[in-house]
Amino acid sequence: MGMDELDGRIEFYCQLYEKVYKRVLEKNSGDVLAVVLKVFEEVARDLRGEQVNRSSVRGDKAEGEKPATEKQREALHKFGIRRIPESLKKGEASEVLEKLIGLSKGKENMAVGKLIEEINTKWSG
């Protein structure tokens, strides 16, 4: 990544932060900074996820179509996924892990459990 690209990315995130801050300030009189940081983290996570998905669809498509790695399979098992299909691709494993990790970091235990249950049902047949 060149310096121009890095500067552009930093500028984008600064503008994004300012926009989130203004919006939350208009709607919330409580702990504005805490709310802004949480919203900003979620938006940034979504943007990174979209970027990963776009790169796997574009030039890195071949990489995303390779079989899931042993490390990805181990991580899925640690989350409680019981049966991982042999046909699971690297890109699909990345998407599932990203969702699980995101929910876990957000302390959304019920959502993690529900997603694991859905995946176990989907992959059991």
Query: Can you say how many angstroms the Cα of residue 71 is from the centroid of all Cα atoms in its chain?
Result: 17
Parse the chain into domains and list their residue ranges: 1-58, 67-125
The torsion region of residue 81 among left (phi > 0), alpha (psi -120 to 50) and beta comes to beta
pTM, to two decimals: 0.53
Reading the chain (125 residues) residue by residue, the pLDDT tens digits are: 677 777 787 888 888 888 888 888 888 767 888 888 887 777 777 777 766 666 555 455 677 788 999 999 999 999 999 999 999 999 899 889 988 888 888 778 888 899 999 999 999 86
Give, in order, the Cα–Cα distances in Å from 54 to each of 22, 42, 91.
29, 18, 11
